Amino acid sequence: MTEQPNEFNTKKQHYLTEKQVLDDLIKEKEKIINIIAALEQDLIEQATATKEKLNVDNFLSADDYVALKQVESGIKTRIEYYNAYKEEIETKIYQQKEALYIEFSHLSAIRKNKLSNEFQSLLDSFSIKQKDILSKLYLLLKASGKITANSELDGYKGSLEYAVKEYLSQHLMSLIDTEMTLEDEFTLPIFIHRTELKTAAQRHLENIEKPISGFQKLIKNTIKG
């Protein structure tokens, strides 16, 4: 099916928007990691404070112990929750990466077709407009005697026609700016590489084992506990 002229740019914009979604998920994961680290630090500080109190008073009341266990239990429960939340976000991050890779592959195919069509259109236009000039250049150069056939080469490569065309070709090639870059509308950044995704074997194994994680794992462990 022929792509509409603006379809690539429309889908590219969606692709860039989805990349922002991935960035937001990664930021959310970093935020969760910081929360977990802070909670773990609270746990250490609670234990340290209780130990210091015990060293000073040489006594620990039942109320102090119950309070300590309640605080400790509360912090550990929060850590368990945020670890489960982190797994949920990690799953979403992977799914977003996979979606981005698929979208990139589709966009690459559209872009390839778009660039090929652009090339062919420009080449056809160039050929039509410059055919007479190129033919005149060939004729003048051949008739001038400036170029001679290479007698050391056999067949067509040893002919005058080949020598003249080779000269013209080299001159035209020297005019090409190989440092020229594509217009912004043709650029397509790659954010996810295939190596970042699971292999078919890994996905097959997951489908068989059906591992649980995140909140499902948290609730299951809570019920079991």
Q: Is residue 40 part of a domain?
A: yes
Give the range of the structural domain holding residue 109, as residue numbers without chain letter.
Answer: 9-224
pLDDT single digits (tens) 8-24? 999 999 999 999 999 99
Q: How many other β-carbons are positioned within 10 Å of the β-carbon of residue 61? A: 9
For residue 3, being part of any structural domain is answered with no
* 30-to-17, 94, 168, 192, 196 alpha-carbon distances in Å: 20, 15, 60, 19, 19
Q: Is residue 2 part of a domain?
A: no
Mean pLDDT of all residues in the chain?
A: 91
**Is position 114 within any domain?**
yes
Rounded CA-CA distance 98/26 in Å is 14
Q: Is residue 4 part of a domain?
A: no
Task: Express each pLDDT in 43-90 by its tens digit.
Answer: 999 889 888 888 888 888 898 889 888 999 999 999 999 999 999 999
pLDDT band of residue 1 (cuts 50, 70, 90) is very low
Cα separation, 186 vs 181, whole angstroms = 10
Tokens of 21: 């979604």
pLDDT the model gives residue 5: 54
Question: Does 1 map to a domain?
Answer: no
Tell me how many domains the chain contains: 1
